[in-house]
Amino acid sequence: MALAGRSLPRLTEATFTPERTRVVVEAACARVGLDATGAELLRHQTNAVFRLVTAPVIVKVARPNIRHTAAVVSLVEWVVEHGVPSVPLLSGTGQPLEVAGCGVTLWRYLPPTRLIAAGDIAVPLRALHEVPLPPIPLPELDALGAIHNSIQASTIISAQERGVLLRRWSRLVDAVPGLRYEGPPRLIHGDPQHRNALWDEAAGRPVLSDWDSAVVGPVEWDLVTIEVHCRRFGFPEQEYRDFCGRYGRDVREWAGFTTMRDLRELRMVTTNARKSAPGSPQAAEVHRRIAALEAGGDLQWSIL
């Protein structure tokens, strides 16, 4: 437990590596009386996600430039109170913790007893879209701003690739303000997809997870996200149809679908362009996606 009182240097985007975030996990766990020995790294892209092998707990380390971890904790507590199926936070730990300049959250581990299909996401997502706006300060969706910031911040793209992305961004700057949504802004998940939902065996239902992207915005953003993930990552068409049937809407029938689809895909490409390290497999996938965007066509993407 010596790590509990140990002062660690603040992480930066450049030092947000699996080796350093593991030390953050060890320090956070020591602070709340958990043992992080042998913790398994599950994911290291938007966040660092570790599974403890000594307890049924997931530890998530947010990137050092993410400052809304406390709002995420408050939001999850609020949506659970309002009946939205969500993976539960670990109780009794006074979250979030701050270690080395990163927000750290702890969650109950839900073992993968069954694979999540797109249709499983429909009911909890519909429940989310039906709750009132929460009394929690949440940002509004600003996909265009986020895309431009990511293009400028990326260290892996060439001048030619930056031009490709900026041209697509410029076209969307003209098109997005003209979108007409089928309803007022709602609380949206921001990134609903197969890896951001889990099966809660005890409750016998699917639940939403990974709330870091939650914002106030049009529900069409969430619905297009499902469509993009199903199509780009090779899930069967019937799986997407199952989602539409259970949710009660096929966003492809909306007049603004093509524009929102292009916006969502550009956000996915540019976000990964900002987060990926030069020479990494993730960077190679970003280069492949940019080339395909320029060439046109419906290239299947690899999951990052």
> Which tens digit of pLDDT belongs to each residue from 112-161?
889 999 999 999 999 999 999 999 989 999 999 999 999 999 999 999 99
Averaged pLDDT of the chain: 93
CATH architecture, range 2-108: 2-Layer Sandwich (3.30)
Q: Which tokens sit at 181?
A: 């949504």
What's residue 296's pLDDT?
Answer: 85
What are the structural domain ranges in the chain? 2-108, 118-295
- Percent of the chain residues past pLDDT 90, beyond the cut: 85
Q: State the Cα–Cα distance between residues 269 and 274, nearest whole angstrom.
A: 9
- Binned at pLDDT 50, 70 and 90, residue 69 comes out as confident
What's residue 1's pLDDT?
Answer: 40
Whether residue 2 has pLDDT greater than 50: no
Strand partners, 243: none
Compute the C-alpha angle 97/103/107, nearest 5°. 70
The class of domain 118-295 in CATH terms is: alpha beta
